[in-house]
Structure 1
Amino acid sequence: MQHPAVPELAHTHTRPIHWVATATAIAGVVALSSLLQPKPATAAQSATPDAKPAPTTAPSTADVDFPLDCGPEQALVVKKATGDLDGDGTPETVAVVHCDAPMGTPPDGVYVLTHNPGHTHARVVATLIDPKARNTVTGLTVTDGAVLATLLGYSTADVPSCCPDVKDSARWQWKDNTFVRSTPAGARSI
């Protein structure tokens, strides 16, 4: 019989105590790994060092290109209200705008503005009232995510622009990715 060059090592023979020690070590690793779990996955993108936090202030009406043809005159913001209209936690601005005409009362347009990522000025995302409707907005508020407006208008095209003869109330609510207009019952008068 030939003897090995290296003496026998005591730990090369398994004994029941080795199995108990191995089982205890594995149980400890499993127990520790169940305590140290990663955060659950979400669909939201994680913030990167370059990411900017969501704006907490409503967008300004300054330098906004309103879809209003004023010819040589300037667009004039006459009323505005702010609030979170779509429930995303970021406020929007609702602006009543008309042309700065030297005479008369030009019709108003009502526009919803939101922040424009990567730009210094806001952008128009919705037109609630087109100036072609010939309305004048006398009241504007944002309440509970809804835009409320009081409108003066005309019953027919024959009514002179100086003398609106219809007073109306309108409400817009964000629903299914669009602003839905409703009129409170009994809100119209002549």
Structure 2
Amino acid sequence: MQPSAGQDLPHTRTRPVHWIATAAALAAIVGGSALLQPAGAVATSKAGASAPSRTAEPLPRGGPDPEKADYPVDCGPEKVQVVRHGSGDLDGDGRAETVAVVRCKAGFGTPPNGIYVLAHPSSGKGAPRIVETFLDPKEGMNVSAFAVRGRTVSATLLGYSSEDVPRCCPDQQRRVEWRWRKGKFRLSALPVAESV
């Protein structure tokens, strides 16, 4: 028996669940098409003017330039000198940091070193930010055998056993490493070396 005009078949009646399923399917299609646009796609307004698509800022390729940082080192009339540096993604966030070994520029003598971790500026412009101090020059040490490999920073720290030891000739050394673990840099000392 066929239904007369104006009668609904049971499978053609719409229910709220049908509308919800249809809305969800449309939302998935529209959302998916927005995500799958080509990289150079542009949006157009009703007036036909085109505007570039908004994409995330690309991550900087290398670490920050250590020569552009403002180090917390008082050198009086002299300038801060970057003597060594290395870059790597130390904290695994997809952006490379730079570790810089600095000292006051001096014509003679051996001024103490500082070791600083630099990150790109938050706004993308301006000087690199100092996010960690591994070695403060006030500790009176010098650095040798410095390297950045993967997420590890290693160095040999040279120091003095007493105030009587000439500042040109450190008589103690210690190899150390800094690694990013559980949200912060951790310092570990390697086996004690003989005095120099």
**TM bracket (short chain):** 0.7 to 0.9
Query: Contact 1:58 / 1:90 at 8 angstroms: preserved in 2?
Result: yes
Q: What TM-score do you get using the length of structure 2 for normalisation?
A: 0.74
Tell me the distance in 2 between the aligned counterparts of 1:30 and 1:116: 46
Query: Contact 1:152 / 1:168 at 8 angstroms: preserved in 2?
Result: yes
- Aligned pair 1:70/2:110, yes or no? no
Deviation at 1:49, TM superposition (A): 2.1
Which sits farther off after the overlay, 144-153 or 74-83? 144-153
Deviation at 1:56, TM superposition (A): 2.1
Tell me the distance in 2 between the aligned counterparts of 1:178 and 1:69: 27
Paired residues in the alignment total: 168
Q: Which runs of 4+ in 1 moved over 6 A?
A: none
- Per the alignment, residue 113 of structure 2 pairs with 108
Which of 133, 143, 148 matches 1:142?
Answer: 148
Per-residue CA deviations over 1:10-50 (Å, capped at 9, x if unaligned) read: 533x26xx223337xx87x94895697357xxxxxxxx827
Give 3-state SS (helix, strand or coil) of 2:68's partner: coil
Q: What TM-score do you get using the length of structure 1 for normalisation?
A: 0.77
- Per the alignment, residue 11 of structure 1 pairs with 5
Gaps in structure 1 of 5+ consecutive residues: 1-9, 40-47
Gaps in structure 2 of 5+ consecutive residues: 33-52
Percent of paired sites with the same residue = 39
Which sits farther off after the overlay, 88-97 or 60-69? 60-69
- Per the alignment, residue 138 of structure 2 pairs with 132
- Per the alignment, residue 90 of structure 2 pairs with 85
Tell me the distance in 2 between the aligned counterparts of 1:73 and 1:165: 27
Structure 1 144/187 Cα, relative in aligned 2: closer, same or farther at 3 Å? farther
Which sits farther off after the overlay, 53-62 or 76-85? 53-62
- Aligned pair 1:22/2:28, yes or no? no
Deviation at 1:138, TM superposition (A): 1.1
